[in-house]
């Protein structure tokens, strides 16, 4: 019953957004408008804001004239392609994030030495980094295995994803109270035993919200990497391609944008499942 | 044989620094096997520090300690003692039974043996139906019982308790005191018990060690002579009141800069 209500609420909110869009199109100024001399009101003409039904109906049209692949197939395939890349990025990023957190938790020196660099790493513009990663990757060949192009996009997703995980996991690993640590000491538990029996389980409530951030970050990383490296097959590439035709066919761009939104939703759903699994036996107050 | 033997023990924190603290000086104490000894005194008298030194969670600056005729470190490695704190410190992600199994798990016991012992301990603390519950589903008193069960899971000869009932309400507290005594009788465990409460110390102990701060030291050891088994009726006993008076007088000699009952900050 609760689940049904949530789905109903979600659909209602979608509908409300669509209605708001159409209402603005109806009353908003065609060529944009000014409030107290500031141009704030967006243009409501068909080129800037296509009708909702126009965008939706475009999904059934073929992608290019004469082709038998409808847009919804192309967008869905693109979203699925990017989803897999983002998932790889998410997993790799989470793995490295947790490893870094363990390292920082084990050695105080590492925390002081590494943490500032982690913060700096996140201020490097992804657009600048993307071509570099692709060119570095292109030179890697180990035992006949060569670096596939898509892996560069995943790496950039991981590059954004590891940060919240590292910070959240570090906080979580350090969260057990002194009494719990003393208790483990009194049992003559080794550092590794304390890590697995106490610190990791204690960090779960901190890691779960970090994973939610990491999931959306990995999607952003992958989509931006696709756009800036021109990787074919993903939703990022579709957005770029469709945007070129935006002046003549504005509704088409939105089909790809919604595809990217769907991708984000899928990623969020994936993490929500992980959340439910990991927090199943926790006190209710601790659930996020 | 003495369970704990402490000679000329001293502990200094931040030695040589501006904020040097003489936590304990010149402590001599011998605790016989099967004895129940309470440590009482105002905040900063070093009673928790003394307990931690016995537990080998801290290293002494001077003097010596033996636990079961071993060094404290060896005693800790051999799990010769169990420990319980004011906060039950149960792991919220583990069921009650799994919490009790934790020390056994760390020792590498196999699963069926662990479960068997956990059930035995739950029987002992009268919570046999709560094995599969999670700690947050239990009341404070029940959580504390589980913590005691966990501390006793390896059948240690010595139990170290740091204000284990400090966070409980008065009624639960008195009930838990009687429970603890009956558990210790059955398991013939030696107990060192840190508390802020005079009646608690007198009710539970064979001897009450009165300590004073700055520097932390033992000022007096009060023998409690209550005949026979201690029950709730003991609380109306003349000998019980005599014990309380004796401890209170011993504490009165102690510089009372802090209230005796309250939350101690470490």
Count of CB atoms situated within 10 Å of the CB of A180: 19
Rounded-to-integer distance, Cα A272 and Cα A278, Å: 10
pLDDT of residue A286: 46
B71: helix, strand or coil: coil
For residue B92, the chain A residues in CB contact (below 8 A) are 282-283, 286
pLDDT score, position A36? 80
List A residues 200-239 in contact with B (Cβ-Cβ < 8 A).
201-202, 204
Does the beta-carbon distance from A180 to B89 stay under 8 Å? yes
Instruction: DSSP letter for B265, please.
Output: P
Q: How far apart are CA B227 and CA A166, in angstroms?
A: 61
- State the CATH architecture for B2-80+156-252: 3-Layer(aba) Sandwich (3.40)
Q: Which residues pair with B99 in a beta bridge?
A: none
A134's tokens? 């692709």
User: Whose CA is closest to B210, among B181, B170, B244, B173?
Assistant: B244
B256 touches chain A (CB under 8 A): no
Mean pLDDT of each 10-residue bin along chain B, 266 residues long: 83 81 85 89 85 88 87 86 86 91 89 90 86 88 88 87 85 84 85 90 88 84 80 79 84 59 45
CA dist., res. B50 & res. A69, Å (int): 79
Do B134 and A281 count as a contact with CB atoms less than 8 A apart?
Answer: yes
Token pair of B66 as six digits: 């033996």
The answer to whether B218 and B10 are in contact (CB under 8 A) is: no
pLDDT of residue B261: 45
DSSP B70: B
pTM: 0.80
Bridge partners, A41 (sequence order): A33
Domains of chain A as residue ranges with CATH: 1-49 (no CATH), 54-286 (1.10.3720.10)
Q: Which residues of chain A have pLDDT under 50?
A: 286-288
Q: Which of B222, B164, B162 is nearest to B194 (CA)?
A: B162
CB burial class (10 A; 0-12, 13-18, 19+) of residue A253? buried
Buried b (16+ CB within 10 A) or exposed e, B168-185: beeebbbebbbbbbebbe
CA dihedral B79, B84, B90, B96 (to 10 degrees): 70
Distance of CA B8 to the CA centre of its chain: 21
Distance CA B118, CA B35 (A): 25
Distance CA A126, CA A223 (A): 11
Model pLDDT, residue A200: 92
For residue B215, what are its two tokens? 């520097």
Distance of CA B85 to the CA centre of its chain: 8
Per-residue model confidence as pLDDT tens digits over A28-61 = 887 777 778 787 788 888 778 888 888 888 777 7
CB pair distance less than 8 Å for B93 and A204: yes
Q: What spatial distance separates the first Cα and last Cα of chain B, rounded to whole Å?
A: 33
- Quickly list DSSP for B197-210: -HHHHHHH-SEEEE
What contacts 24+ positions apart, CB below 8 Å, involve A239-248?
A246/A47, A247/A47
**Is the Cβ pair A177, B87 closer than 8 Å?**
yes
Name the minimum distance, in Å, from the CA of A219 to any CA of chain B.
Answer: 31
Q: In a 3-state reduction of DSSP, which class is residue B254?
A: coil
d(CA A161, nearest CA chain B) in Å: 26
Taking the C-alpha atoms of residue A167 and residue B231, their distance in angstroms, rounded to an integer, is 53
Measured between CB atoms, which of B85, B102, B134 is closest to A179? B85
Give rounded-to-5 percent helix, strand, coil for chain B. Answer: 40, 25, 40
The tokens 């060094």 sit on which residue?
A: B71
Contact (Cβ atoms closer than 8 angstroms) between residue B144 and residue B164: yes
Q: Which residue matches tokens 């284990």?
A: B164
Contact call for residues B203 and B240 (beta carbons, < 8 A): yes
Q: What distance in Å separates residue A282's CA from the closest CA in chain B? A: 6
**For chain B, which residues make up each domain, given as ranges?**
2-80+156-252
Is A144 touching B (CB cutoff 8 A)?
A: no
Which two structure tokens, joined as six digits, stand for B33? Answer: 């096997």
């Amino acid at each position: 019953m609760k689940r049904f209500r949530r789905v109903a609420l979600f659909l209602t909110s979608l509908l409300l957004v669509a209605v708001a869009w159409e209402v603005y199109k109806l009353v908003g100024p065609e060529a944009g408008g000014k409030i107290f001399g500031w141009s704030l009101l967006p243009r409501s003409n068909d080129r800037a804001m296509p009708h909702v039904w126009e965008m939706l109906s475009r999904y059934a049209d073929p992608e290019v004239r004469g082709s038998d692949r409808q847009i919804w197939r192309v967008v869905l395939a693109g979203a699925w392609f990017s989803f897999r890349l983002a998932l790889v990025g998410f997993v790799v990023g989470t793995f490295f994030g947790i490893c870094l957190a363990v390292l920082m938790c084990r050695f105080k020196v590492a925390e002081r030495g590494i943490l500032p660099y982690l913060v700096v790493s996140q201020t490097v513009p992804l657009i600048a980094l993307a071509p570099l990663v692709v060119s570095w990757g292109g030179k890697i060949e180990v035992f006949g295995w060569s670096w596939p192009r898509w892996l560069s996009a995943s790496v950039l997703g991981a590059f954004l994803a590891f940060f919240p995980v590292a910070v959240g996991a570090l906080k979580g690993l350090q969260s057990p109270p002194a009494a719990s640590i003393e208790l483990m000491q009194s049992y003559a538990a080794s550092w590794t035993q304390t890590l697995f029996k106490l610190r990791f389980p204690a960090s779960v409530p901190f890691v779960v919200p970090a994973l939610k951030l990491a999931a959306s970050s990995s999607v952003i990383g992958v989509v931006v990497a696709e756009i800036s490296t021109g990787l074919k097959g993903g939703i990022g590439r579709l957005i770029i391609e469709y945007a070129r035709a935006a002046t003549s066919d504005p509704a088409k761009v939105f089909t790809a944008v919604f595809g990217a939104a769907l991708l984000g939703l899928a990623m969020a759903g994936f993490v929500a499942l992980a959340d439910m699994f990991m927090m199943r036996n926790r006190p209710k107050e601790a659930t996020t | 044989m003495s369970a704990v033997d402490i000679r000329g023990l001293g502990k200094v924190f931040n030695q040589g620094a501006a904020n040097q603290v003489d936590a304990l000086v010149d402590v001599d104490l011998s605790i016989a096997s099967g004895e129940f000894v309470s440590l009482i005194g105002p905040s900063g008298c070093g009673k928790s520090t003394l307990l931690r030194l016995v537990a080998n969670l801290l290293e002494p600056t001077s003097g010596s300690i033996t636990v079961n005729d071993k060094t404290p470190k060896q005693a800790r490695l051999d799990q010769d003692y169990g420990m319980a704190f004011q906060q039950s410190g149960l792991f919220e992600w583990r069921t009650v039974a799994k919490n009790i199994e934790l020390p056994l798990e760390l020792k590498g016991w196999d699963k069926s043996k662990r479960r068997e012992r956990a059930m035995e301990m739950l029987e002992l603390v009268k919570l046999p139906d709560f094995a599969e519950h999670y700690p947050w589903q239990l009341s404070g008193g029940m959580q504390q019982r589980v913590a005691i069960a966990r501390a006793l899971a390896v059948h240690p000869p010595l139990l170290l308790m740091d204000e284990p009932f400090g966070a409980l309400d008065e009624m639960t507290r008195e009930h838990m005191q009687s429970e603890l005594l009956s558990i210790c009788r059955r398991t013939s465990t030696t107990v060192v018990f840190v508390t802020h409460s005079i009646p608690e110390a007198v009710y539970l102990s064979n001897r009450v060690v009165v300590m004073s701060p700055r520097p932390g030291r033992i000022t007096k050891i009060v023998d409690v002579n209550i005949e026979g088994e201690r029950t709730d009726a003991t609380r109306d006993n003349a000998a019980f009141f005599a014990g309380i008076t004796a401890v209170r007088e011993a504490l009165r000699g102690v510089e009372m800069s802090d209230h005796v009952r309250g939350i101690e900050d470490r």
